[in-house]
Amino acid sequence: MTLNDTAHGDVLVVHVEDSRIDAARAPEFKTAMTERIDQGHVRLVLDLSKVDFVDSSGLGAIVSCLKRIGPRGNLAVAGAKGAVAKLFALTRMDRVFPLHASVDDALKSVAG
Amino acid sequence: MPGVVRLSIDSDLNQVEFIARAVRSLCDNLLGREDAEAVELAVVEAMNNIIKHGYQGRRGEAVDVNVTLTRSEVEVEVVDHATPIPEHIVKGGEPLAFDFDATDLAGLPEGGMGLTLIRMSMDEVDYVSRPGENRLRMVKRIAAR
């Protein structure tokens, strides 16, 4: 699982470079995200623009990141499309993570 | 055009993607993009549940997937020899939609969504468990074009 970071002020944008976040990859994804959060990155944008499939295990890992951040910060999702956006809608997680079309839009929502 | 394709993988989460891609490409010419994606999600959730809960992560067991294509529907049958899904869950113990308090951060679900997603994604779902064998049958009807 490849994640690339770009810093925008105090917001860390995490670009998921793999096309899938599924049950096989979710544990590694969760560990990598938890490391970032525990290093103090509590304002995060998760860029899913290269991802074309997420299953409920992948979604659960994203939810666990939000819980880990807790009231200290925020996690916004950018670039979710097709089946990925549909999963957020089906599970009603789009109420928890507003889906932003672009990283720029997401940055505005998480900036303090 | 009707036909049956039989696929089989080892009970390893890393192999679920192979079935997902195979089923997806079988569906692509028959179903629209959204319906093909729904079938892919249902198949992946079914296989994940079997491997994680049925086989409890144990590798070296077979998970078989039979895909039947007809003019009117795509049927995917997933067959395993693992511990069956508990009856109270099969019998509608799980809600048909997701209902949780989006403002209760600690209470957000992180799992247990698979079977509900399967039911939402497919037109028909049934599950038959016999001693030593479980069969989950899922049908997506082909929309008239």
B93 pLDDT above the threshold of 60: no
Distance from CA of A89 to the nearest CA of B (A): 10
- Domain at A3-95, CATH homologous superfamily: STAS domain (3.30.750.24)
- Express each pLDDT in A33-89 by its tens digit: 999 999 999 999 999 999 999 999 999 999 999 999 999 999 999 999 999 999 999
Helix or strand run (H / E) with residue A56 = helix A56-69
Residue-wise burial string across A35-60, b where 16 or more C-beta atoms lie within 10 A, e elsewhere: ebbeeebbbbbbbbeebebbbbbbbb
pLDDT for position B99: 85
Whether the per-residue pLDDT at A31 is higher than 80: the answer is yes
Name the helix (H) or strand (E) containing A46: strand A43-47
Helix (H, G, I), strand (E, B) or coil at A11: strand
Contact A70 B105 (CB under 8 A): yes
**Are B40 and A57 a contacting pair at CB < 8 A?**
no
Residues of A with CB under 8 A from a CB of B: 20, 22-24, 53, 55-57, 59-61, 63-64, 66-67, 70-71, 82-83, 86-87, 90-93, 95-96
Between chain A and chain B, how many beta carbons pairs sit less than 8 Å apart? 78
Using DSSP's 3-state secondary structure scheme, residue A77 falls into: strand
**pLDDT above 90: residue B97:** no
Give the total residue count for chain B. Answer: 145
| Whether B45 and A95 lie within 8 Å, measured CB to CB | no
Residue B145 pLDDT greater than 70, yes or no = no
Q: Could you tell me the sign of the dihedral formed by the alpha carbons of A16, B117, A83, A45, in that order?
A: negative
Distance from CA of A66 to the nearest CA of B (A): 8
| Chain A residues within 8 A of B40 when measuring between CB atoms | 53, 83
Question: Are A23 and B111 in contact (CB < 8 Å)?
Answer: no
Could you report the per-residue pLDDT of B10-48, keeping only the tens digit for each?
A: 999 999 999 999 999 999 889 999 999 999 999 999 999
Predicted TM-score (pTM) of this structure? 0.95
**B19-49 as b/e: b if 16+ CB within 10 A:** bbebbbebbeebbeeebbbbbbbbbbbbbbb
Q: For residue B29, what are the contacts with CB-CB under 8 A and spacing of at least 6?
A: none
Domains by residue range for chain B, with CATH: 3-141 (3.30.565.10)
